[in-house]
Copies of this chain bind each other. A is one copy, B any other.
Amino acid sequence: MPRVATGESSLARAVRILESFTPDAPQLTVTEVARRSGLHVATASRIVGHLVGHGLLSRGPDRELRVGMRLWELASRAAPTRSLRDAAMPYLEDLHAVVGHHAQLAVLDGEDVIFLERLSARDAVVNYSRIAGRLPLHISSSGVVLLAYAPADVQERVLARPLESRTPSTITDPDRLRTTLEQVRRQGYALLPGHVHPDATGIAVPVRNGLGEVVAALSVIVPNDARAVAAVPALLAAARGIGRSLR
């Protein structure tokens, strides 16, 4: 009996197709979609047709494909982070107005940090994180804060793995990472100069909900100089405000 296209594998292929759209490749032809998702062009073309039909992908006048507005709508209107984002935005704005450069809100997802929101000044120092972008936890100040308060099993898995380097300052030694996590828990913030980019310092603090659980990291990216630490009190105050709004 020939293997029929079951629901599972069809859904899996649809997901693979959606995954082929990235910030660097937001617009693709069917051929590119097939190549990136590892599917035959005919299969890709058929599933793309259904995805376009449901509005999850959209096809431009040039036949190029993009993520559909409907997908964004379905994902955003009931997003699990919606109440967190709503509570955080006024504080993120205040923080951005006072500290300038980039102000960001991030959460833990598996063993990555994922950035939910970012407010950026037009002339801000370089920043590699982006909305809906991921970074391994040990690299950025937001990730290190989330890792410092993460469940023990997440910490152990991260510490047991090779730690990828972004700059000479990135923490790649597990013992040094463990010490840094202890320090973050003791002092209540992470300040990592040049860990993501040599010219930028990330400073992050935990955001706690009404139960005292760390649910997010609030951070700013500033130029890599001695004034960076001055952002800490503003961050701590904003994180308390968000926590209060979450209650």
Taking Cβ atoms with an 8 Å cutoff, the residues of A that contact B are 4-15, 18-19, 21-23, 25-26, 46-47, 50-51, 54, 56, 58, 66-82, 89-90, 93, 96-97, 107, 109, 114, 119-122, 130-134
The interface residues of chain B lying within 8 Å CB-to-CB of A73 are 109, 114, 132, 134
- Residue of B5, B58, B120 touching A7 (CB-CB under 8 A): B5
A121 engages B71 (CB within 8 Å): no
Q: Which residue of B lies closest to A121 (CB)?
A: B90
- Tell me which residues across on chain B come within 8 A of A12, comparing CB atoms: 50, 54
| B93 in contact with A119 (CB, 8 Å) | yes
A23 to chain B: closest residue by CB: B77
Whether A76 and B11, one on each chain, are in contact in the complex, defined by CB atoms closer than 8 angstroms, is no
Smallest CB separation, A116 vs chain B (Å):
9
When distances are taken between beta carbons in the complex, the residues of chain B under 8 Å from A74 are 15, 18-19, 21, 67, 71, 75
A203 to chain B, nearest CB (A): 20
Least Cβ distance of A5 to chain B in Å? 4
CB distance from A3 to the nearest CB of B (A): 11
A11 touches B47 (CB 8 A): yes
Once A22-B77, A73-B114, A131-B76 are accepted as A-B contacts, the answer to whether A8 and B119 lie under 8 Å apart by CB is: no
Q: Nearest chain B CB to A164's CB is how many angstroms away?
A: 19
Given A7-B13, A69-B80, A77-B130, list of 19 further CB < 8 A pairs?
A: A7-B7, A7-B46, A10-B11, A11-B14, A11-B47, A11-B51, A11-B54, A19-B74, A26-B78, A66-B80, A68-B80, A71-B71, A71-B75, A74-B75, A75-B75, A75-B76, A76-B131, A77-B131, A89-B120
Bound complex: CA of A103 vs CA of B134, how far in Å? Answer: 28
Are B10 and A80 neighbours in the complex by a CB distance under 8 Å? no
**Once the chains bind, are A80 and B47 in contact (CB under 8 Å)?**
no
- CB-contact partner of A78 in B8, B25, B134, under 8 A: B25
Q: Is the CB of A22 within 8 A of B56?
A: no
Q: What residues of chain B lie closer than 8 Å to A5, measured between beta carbons?
A: 6-7
Q: Residues of B contacting A120 with CB < 8 Å?
A: 89-90
A11 to B48, CA, bound (A): 11
Cα A27 to Cα B239 in complex, Å, equals 26
Distance A245 CA – B80 CA, assembled complex (angstroms): 31
A208 CB to nearest chain B CB (Å)? 19
